Structure 1
């Protein structure tokens, strides 16, 4: 499994990314993060991955190849667990979240890919 995590800071706020990730992972409310339009974001994933098979309300699998992913949400974050998902599909997931100005935090590296990155 490969995790992709997304959140958005309130304007002027910048926190320790790994601490934010750990709080999100425990589904805690994080002071300084924006509330996300979760339903709008999920609807966008339904559109972008409309050709994929829906396993359940939060999970998709590739009907014509390998790869699957599951989306877990809080009011402040989107976490996508990828299972055997190809890089180009992960990029599409990241690009979809970029539409909502939510940059990727990759806990495996760990690095957040946003305008404040060096």
Structure 2
């Protein structure tokens, strides 16, 4: 297996409507090809963009992605699409130095949790527990 680029750190967020028991890496590969998976929730891309703008003032909205700089690093938000208006996965690519700012990392995770999404960290191959609370959409 090729060595992971240590310049960035990727985070993936999606919400399962039922326990799918799919391998998270397989989910990412399918969703990254913009192929929907039955049982994975979809969200309004605009609502997700609004939440990031609210929680990260100064984030630059480039429509297809959101770019934020701070804490000596950066992150970029992109999406996989279920259709023209909705997304089924939020992808956050962070500068590796952002790991030194747990407050910023937790704010990113809080945005995903706001939509009822669990975090998948491909660097550790761990998908964290999905929030129990009802997502706000």
State TM-score, norm by structure 1. Answer: 0.83
Q: Which runs of 4+ in 1 moved over 4 A?
A: none
**What are the ranges of 5 or more consecutive residues in structure 2 without an aligned counterpart?**
1-7, 81-86, 131-137
Q: How does 1:20-99 map to 2 (within 5 A)?
A: 20-50=27-57, 52-54=58-60, 56-57=62-63, 58-62=66-70, 65-74=71-80, 75-83=87-95, 84-85=97-98, 86-99=101-114
**What are the ranges of 5 or more consecutive residues in structure 1 without an aligned counterpart?**
none
Shift of 1:55: 7.4
Q: Give the counterpart of 1:105 among 114, 120, 123.
A: 120
User: What secondary structure does 1:32 align onto?
Assistant: coil
Higher relative contact order (CA 8 A, sep 6+): 1
Q: CA RMSD in A?
A: 2.1
**What are the Cα deviations for residues 26-76 of structure 1, in whole angstroms up to 9, with x where unaligned?**
3332232111222111101001001x35274421111xx311111111211
State TM-score, norm by structure 2. Answer: 0.72
Aligned pairs, number? 113
